[in-house]
Structure 1
């Protein structure tokens, strides 16, 4: 889906006279507007979007597995989650890093907004922020509040 769009975004810059001393080619990637638009549409397609190595049923790295486990702990329904296996598309793997300006995968988006990677998600889970975010984003139902307990004398 992403490969044809992202293929054309690689630009090679040769060293200028001032950098001849370094004597090496440098590759600079620029995400084309078309590729940026395609990724933007992908992250807005579902309330929760996960770019990962592997699939939720078969994660291919420990960090992706940890993110899937955290989302499972919160009961994220499959119909609210869209995942993309970056191992199937190397151009997507690089393009999503440029898009988010985040160097690692997995990457989590909620309602089109970049949340972070595995470490951020686990930190949010531990602090309770993730549950609040998922509830406020209508991804998971709000937890029923416990009634106030009264003490009898």
Structure 2
């Protein structure tokens, strides 16, 4: 069990998958994390980047979730928490209520709501995503690509 979540069996309400990658080995690892009475506010603070999506990063279940996963992958962001809202309707509604945003996927940086697929795509296209990732201490892989092309 991942050390991020230490829960007692009595506190478990639902099961949600948490995507974690091991950057050193490049291996993608799924850890089954338990979502209990923890608030969405606590979940979004677990990592620098948190995504609520339909499906998983390895198997997104809608085009918008897939687009978010691909944008993050393009920037080399592979260390993030991803929660499958299809696993739990309470989580799905909870994140919508928390962010006051009606659609999934939803992306959070340092506990702050960034937006959905459309916002992340716009940030990617404008170059703002590179800057926002730098604020998180994450170097976008696109910066390395730009160096190589010069």
Give the TM-score, by structure 2 length: 0.69
SS at match of 2:39: helix
1:43 maps to 44
Post-superposition offset of 1:136: 1.6
1:129 maps to 128
The superposition leaves residues 60-98 of structure 1 with CA deviations (integer Å, 9 ceiling, x where unpaired) of 0000000000000100033xx000000000110111100
Structure 1 runs of 4+ aligned residues shifted over 6 Å read none
1:52 maps to 53
Q: Distance in 2 between matches of 1:119 and 1:141?
A: 19
Structure with the larger helix share:
1
Larger Rg: 1
Post-superposition offset of 1:141: 5.6
Q: Which runs of 5+ in 1 are unaligned?
A: 6-33, 147-153
1:61 maps to 62
SS at match of 1:133: helix
Tell me the matched-pair count: 116
Q: Distance in 1 between matches of 2:44 and 2:76?
A: 20
What is the Cα-based RMSD across aligned positions, in Å? Answer: 2.7
